[in-house]
Structure 1
Amino acid sequence: MTPTPTEPLRVFLVEGNPLIRIGLGAVLSDGAVRLVGEAADADACLERVGDADPDVMLLDLDGPRGSGLAAVRSLVRRFPEVGVVATGSARSEESELALAALSAGARGFLLKDSEPALILDAIRLVRGGGVVLSPGVGDVLPTLLAAAADVPGRCTLSGLTAREHDVLRLVAHGYDNRRIARELSLSDKTVRNYVSAVLSKLGAGSRGEAIVAARVAGLGGASRWGKPVRPAPR
């Protein structure tokens, strides 16, 4: 669903801690944002998200046995139009968690104790195709991505054709395949093939990881804050 200027953004919340879930639920009730569903774990989330039809999801990564990251992968595959923002509470591991979430297809990573204004700002930014990150991660993201990509066979953006650059630029804007097809006057199938080729050449495991790589390289346009990838303020 694409909200009109008068419709609130629809958000689904997945959080295992009931007290945190209540607190975040209160944040997600400011008039411009509407909480359309919530769940205590990833399994319940996957059962309900289709009916809830959210624009953005806040998804807890602190579940048992890596279930949060598995849920991100499933959600991105089944509901590519939904912007997933992973949340976590482990500050000492935030960079690694952020990279894992982005690799799984998330559009960002936030700490659960982020300021309410930041959470609402992040939801709006992700719905518009942006990427959000917890404090400090944006500063080290290029280094993290370079280290993750330092594997034989992985290519930089220089390995893309002109048309693949065009496709990646629109992916970095947050467009889905159907919108990209309209923008470039291509068939949906052709766009799917281009996206697959781009992910393969970048060595990206998901659209989310490709978006971040593109934003770091300057594709996709700057956000309203003047940076391709916006680190959350301290």
Structure 2
Amino acid sequence: MNQTADRPIRVAIADDQPLLRRSLAIIINGAADLVVVGEAASGGEAFDLARDRAPDVILMDLRMPGVDGIEATRRITADRRLAGVRVLVLTMFELDEYVRDALRAGASGFLLKDSEPDSLLEAIRRTHAGESLFAASILIRLIEHYVRRPAAAQIRRLDLLTERETEVLGLVGQGLSNDEIAMSLKISIKTVKTHIGNLLAKLAARDRAQLVIAAYENRLV
């Protein structure tokens, strides 16, 4: 269990399909360290739910009636009162303009709707821990998208970083967890977390997902 017994990870579900919401809730509530605290059928309801319940993680569908998941994500991440709420997008698409827009809006991770239940639970835990998670196929498509961009469009901010921080940023861009980065670089978890903290501060990034964007834009992946 990644969370203390008296404080499970609080999850909200935003999707316009009642059957899917209920199925996800059953899976999530079946884990001892997770609990569903609310459901929403639209982006507007998702934002209201975030303000009312302040969940740790919101599972967000992108294409919903009225206010869509992208705008809901943008509102949530822009609200200082909701700084502790992280958005994990569930999508049927490996990559399209909706996914890229959601990433720019502040989503912390992306998981395909056909993922295994265990992958969903682990994604929630990692998202709550600040370790943004991207489905492997989405990572590949993101890389392809940013590699095709003209060099002039890249964000040049690497002069702010040390050599080790740049190395860590590249591994974050590959979707590695803190444990995996520590093993790859043969350093401690504490040191990895220090580097991540420095990267967030130097690159003015809200969370790890924005570090992934920076890694792609600077062609570190």
| Structure 1 pair 209–34 and aligned structure 2 pair: CA distance change class (3 A) | closer
Alpha-carbon distance, 1:112 to partner? 2.0
**1:57-116 alpha-carbon deviations (Å, 9 max, x no partner):** 101102147721111111111123211111122x3xx22243332121101111223211
Cα distance in 1, alignment partners of residues 37 and 11 from structure 2: 6
Sequence identity, in percent?
28
| Structure 1 pair 35–22 and aligned structure 2 pair: CA distance change class (3 A) | same
Cα distance in 1, alignment partners of residues 146 and 132 from structure 2: 14
| Structure 1 pair 98–132 and aligned structure 2 pair: CA distance change class (3 A) | farther
Q: How many residues align?
A: 187
Q: TM-score, with normalisation over the residues of structure 1?
A: 0.66
Alpha-carbon distance, 1:49 to partner? 1.3
| Structure 1 pair 80–146 and aligned structure 2 pair: CA distance change class (3 A) | farther
Alpha-carbon distance, 1:48 to partner? 2.1
Aligned to 2:203: 198
- Which amino acid counterpart does residue 88 of structure 2 have in structure 1? V
Alignment of 1:1-234 (within 5 A): 5-6=4-5, 7-29=7-29, 30-64=31-65, 67-78=68-79, 79-89=82-92, 91=93, 94-96=94-96, 97-147=98-148, 150=150, 152=152, 154-160=154-160, 198-199=203-204, 207=207, 209-213=209-213
Alpha-carbon distance, 1:144 to partner? 2.4
| Structure 2: gaps spanning 5 or more residues | 179-193
> Does the residue aligned with 2:10 lie in a helix, a strand or coil?
strand
- Which amino acid counterpart does residue 203 of structure 2 have in structure 1? V
**1:148-183 alpha-carbon deviations (Å, 9 max, x no partner):** 5x3636423424255xx69x97xx799xxxxxxxx7
- Is the Cα contact below 8 Å between 1:87 and 1:110 reproduced in 2? yes
Cα distance in 2, alignment partners of residues 44 and 210 from structure 1: 25
Q: TM-score, with normalisation over the residues of structure 2?
A: 0.69
- Is the Cα contact below 8 Å between 2:44 and 2:66 reproduced in 1? no
Cα distance in 2, alignment partners of residues 158 and 16 from structure 1: 41
Cα distance in 1, alignment partners of residues 153 and 144 from structure 2: 19
Alpha-carbon distance, 1:207 to partner? 4.6
Alpha-carbon distance, 1:135 to partner? 4.2
Aligned to 2:181: none
| Structure 1 pair 138–161 and aligned structure 2 pair: CA distance change class (3 A) | closer
Cα distance in 2, alignment partners of residues 207 and 151 from structure 1: 25
* RMSD between aligned residues: 3.5
Deviates more, 1:151-160 or 1:32-41: 151-160
**1:125-147 alpha-carbon deviations (Å, 9 max, x no partner):** 11111121234122343332344
Cα distance in 1, alignment partners of residues 12 and 155 from structure 2: 36
> Does the residue aligned with 1:34 lie in a helix, a strand or coil?
strand
| Structure 1 pair 156–100 and aligned structure 2 pair: CA distance change class (3 A) | same
| Structure 1: gaps spanning 5 or more residues | 175-182, 185-190, 218-228, 230-234
